[in-house]
Copies of this chain bind each other. A is one copy, B any other.
Amino acid sequence: MLPFTNHIRRLRFEAGEMTQQDLADRIGVTRQTVAAIEQGKYSPSLEAAFRIAQVFRVPLESVFQWQGDRASTGR
């Protein structure tokens, strides 16, 4: 299971129905890669993450949210 969630789908639509293909072109990866990241199939590279945040002009942390290992710390 992945250590973070993301809001790419929401950001794409808030950005005027930007397609996965458009986003892929803008960040320099393939459509399949965007789809996989968006669905949480695997983690993006740090570079792809930065580029996505840049496209939407938001901080990286508002695209990807890390869910630390709170399992043992309780809260």
Contact across chains for B43 and A43 when beta carbons are under 8 A apart: no
Residue tally, chain A, CB below 8 Å to B: 17
Is residue A39 contacting chain B, with contact meaning CB distance below 8 A?
no
A2 to B, closest residue via Cβ: B47
A25 to B66 Cα, complex, angstroms: 19
Contact across chains for A45 and B47 when beta carbons are under 8 A apart: no
Write out the residue numbers on chain B whose beta carbons fall within 8 Å of the beta carbon of A44: 46
Write out the residue numbers on chain B whose beta carbons fall within 8 Å of the beta carbon of A46: 4, 43-46, 49, 64
A50 to B, closest residue via Cβ: B66
A67 to B50 Cα, complex, angstroms: 10
Q: A residues 42-68 with Cβ under 8 Å of B?
A: 43-47, 49-51, 54, 59-61, 64, 66, 68
